[in-house]
Copies of this chain bind each other. A is one copy, B any other.
Amino acid sequence: MGYKIAVVGATGNVGQEILKILDERNFPADEVVALASARSVGREVSFGKKTLKVKNLADFDFSGVDIVLSSPGGKVSAEYSPKAAKAGAVVIDNTSYWRMDPDVPLIVPEVNPHAINEIKKGIIANPNCSTIQMVVALKPLHDAAGIKRVVVSTYQSVSGSGKAAMDELFNQTKGVYMNETATPAVYQKQIAFNVIPHIDVFMDDGMTKEEWKMVVETKKILDSKIKVCASCVRVPVFIGHSEMVNVELENELSASEAKELWRNFDGVTLVDLEHEDLEYVTPQEIQGEDDVYVSRVREDASVENGLNFWCTSDNLRKGAALNAVQIAELWVENQKKAAA
């Protein structure tokens, strides 16, 4: 017997990726409903070989739905996730709205699967894309040697800002070849052939909210004692986030010991071939892949027990849709255990 699933925000970048991954992984679904805002009603989205007609979220009755995979905007989530939870579903919410709620577990299955036992509001939060790939890479290091401090700079793709941002990069770049003046809309500055150190809104202390998310979410998922300084930058890449991560550990851990840990850690692919051209991974190469790719691992002599690495992942998959589906799988497994 399978589950009844509702995908909220089914026409977005992440919603469509969720439908693809549910099918790829043969998720035990008896029925899948695609939901979105009124203006998308009637549109069709693919689910494996099937096509789903998008229904209106506003008047959908969640009774009988087991699992809701939700990636609309934050405001929509604030209203509909509790509604769906009240109707009896478990909601896996991909927005930032619920993540720091103490009664909502924030889960990356490779890192803190035990948090699945702490569902108090019927809602589980899916972390920020940049946080997910970083904590997966950090987990084995933390277990082995204890992480004191992380300094991370990101190189984030435009797909994290949605389809309109991908179109903006595509059209703005094309415009450069036709001598057109760039007119930023999604972003505050030109993104074509440029980098923008500004993701999400600015906060009072000069941090952006994206940077703040990486700090507080890492603490909530991995360990509240870990100190993080995050700097987030948008780059003209369509899909795939990259991060240059500098780690200060409690205890000594050589680069080769760290590599050995990553080689044996589920969810990480370590790239470390003999030939220098393949010694590292770029975002363009891992679009559509599931794993977090770790490369360019080296010791950092500028601090005691320092380590430095490059971490790349498909932000729409592990950074969003895949992690959400993995949480759903974890929940299903947990239900089965409870029933046994």
Q: Which residues of A contact B (CB under 8 A)?
A: 149-151, 153, 155, 169, 173-174, 177, 188-190, 193-198, 201-202, 205-207, 215, 227-229, 231, 233, 235-238, 242, 244, 246, 255, 276-277, 279-280, 282-285, 295-303, 306, 308, 310
Contact = CB atoms under 8 A, between A and B. Distances in A.
Contacts of A173: 173
Nearest to A208: B296
Given A153-B153, A244-B153, A302 B195 contact: no
Contact of A242 (B197, B238, B277, B284): B197
Contacts of A276: 188, 198, 201-202
A283 B234 CA distance: 12
A228 to B, nearest CB: 6
A50 to B, nearest CB: 29
Give the top 5 A-B pairs by smallest Cβ distance, nearest first.
A206-B298, A153-B153, A227-B302, A194-B284, A229-B302
B206 A297 contact: yes
Contacts of A193: 169, 236-238, 284
A196 B282 contact: yes
15 contacts: A151-B246, A151-B302, A153-B244, A190-B284, A194-B283, A198-B280, A206-B298, A206-B299, A227-B302, A229-B301, A229-B308, A231-B246, A231-B296, A235-B235, A235-B236
Contact of A189 (B235, B238, B282): B282
Number of copies: 2
A197 B244 contact: yes
Contacts of A197: 242, 244, 280, 282, 295-296, 310
A302 B196 contact: no
A284 B196 CA distance: 10
A189 B149 contact: no
Nearest to A155: B195
A282 B195 contact: yes
A302 B231 contact: no
Nearest to A234: B282
Contacts of A190: 282, 284
Best-buried of A282, A298, A310 by chain B (most CB within 10 Å): A282
Contacts of A306: 229
A153 B340 CA distance: 51
Given A206-B297, A279-B202, A302 B235 contact: no
Nearest to A279: B202
A242 B195 CA distance: 8
B283 A205 contact: no
A97 to B, nearest CB: 22
A247 to B, nearest CB: 10
Contacts of A238: 193
A250 to B, nearest CB: 15
A260 to B, nearest CB: 15
A114 to B, nearest CB: 26
A89 to B, nearest CB: 38
Contacts of A206: 255, 296-299
A303 B189 contact: no
A246 B229 contact: yes
